[in-house]
Amino acid sequence: MNKITLLKLALLCSVFSLAQNIDTTQYQKVSPGDTIKNYYNPDNNSKANDNIQNYYPPDQNNQQNNQQYNQQNQQQNQQYPAQNQGRGGNGQYRNNVAKPIAPESALMQKLYFGCNLAAQFYSSAGYNIFYYDLSPHVGYKITDKFSAGVQILYNNTIETGGGASASYSVIGGGVFARFLILKWLFLQVEYDILTTPPNSVFSQKRSISDEKIAGVGFKRNITQKVSYYISLLYDFAAEPNSPYYYSPIIYRVGVAYNF
């Protein structure tokens, strides 16, 4: 027997002897299915040597990172509560009940606000006259159909003729009453007191005229609270210094809130 054969036999004996000395009882033989079950078993910490996790110690760095991340989230939630007011304690959204809108007071339900605009052009005694007036007003609903209020009137009149022109303002105020015949039709009467400056063709000195006006109006809602209307009125007792003396028919358009 040569030396190479002896060397091979000696190496084989050494490997066999080393294999007999290894203690295989400390290793658990598990199937792939048992490994998955044991890995996700919530009670695996109470059983010794029954799962693969016992051979792998927990990652300390990963636990520290998770703790730091949770602390940062808690600090951000405390610093920015407005961003998380719609979330529950576990980060899930919850349904917030909207605060009810406070109802209007009894007085505001009765009041309404608006503004009229009138414009007209006519000729008289060789003069061409154009005027427009604005009359903001406040009304109070005495009943569902009948209301009354006050208004302020501003009238700007422009007169041209004889190679000259003049512009002057008429100001005043008055009271009015309205009665709703239908939802879209109402009657209106009003009494106004106006002051006319002296450079008017109607008078050479400042004077006061009172206007006794009545007519009908047609109303249409834009929204539940806002409406517009068109009025056709007539001055039944226009005085010579009144801006409506030569043209007593008054056309108005208006916008109102809560009328």
Q: Is pLDDT of 41 > 80?
A: no
Output the pLDDT for position 108.
87
| Token pair in block for residue 216 | 């009908």
Output the pLDDT for position 95.
57
CB 234 within 8 A of CB 249: yes
Share of the chain above pLDDT 90, in %: 34
Q: 55 falls in which pLDDT band (50, 70, 90)?
A: very low
Output the pLDDT for position 77.
58
Q: Indicate the fold that domain 106-257 takes in CATH.
A: Porin (2.40.160)
Q: 23 falls in which pLDDT band (50, 70, 90)?
A: low
Q: Is pLDDT of 244 > 50?
A: yes
Q: Pick the closest to residue 134 from 171, 186, 179, 176 (CA basis).
A: 171
Average pLDDT over residues 68-91: 57
Output the pLDDT for position 181.
94
Kindly report which listed range (19-23, 94-98, 235-239, 253-257) carries the lowest average pLDDT score.
19-23
pLDDT tens digits for range 85-128: 555 545 455 556 666 777 778 888 899 999 999 988 888 777 88
More confident residue, 59 or 249: 249
Average pLDDT over residues 139-145: 94
pLDDT tens digits for range 147-164: 999 999 999 888 888 778
Output the pLDDT for position 169.
87
CA angle 131, 248, 130 (to 5 degrees): 15
pLDDT tens digits for range 165-217: 888 888 999 999 999 999 899 999 999 999 887 655 545 566 888 999 999 99
Q: How many other CB atoms sit within 10 Å of the CB of residue 117?
A: 13
- What does the DSSP assignment read for 142-206? SSSSEEEEEEEEEEEEEEEETTEEEEEEEEEEEEEEEEEEETTEEEEEEEEEEEE-TTBTTBSS-
The rounded mean pLDDT for the chain is 76
Output the pLDDT for position 154.
93
Output the pLDDT for position 131.
86
Domain range summary for the chain, segments of one domain joined by +: 31-85, 106-257
Output the pLDDT for position 221.
93
Output the pLDDT for position 46.
47
The owner of tokens 């809602």 is 221
Q: 140 falls in which pLDDT band (50, 70, 90)?
A: very high
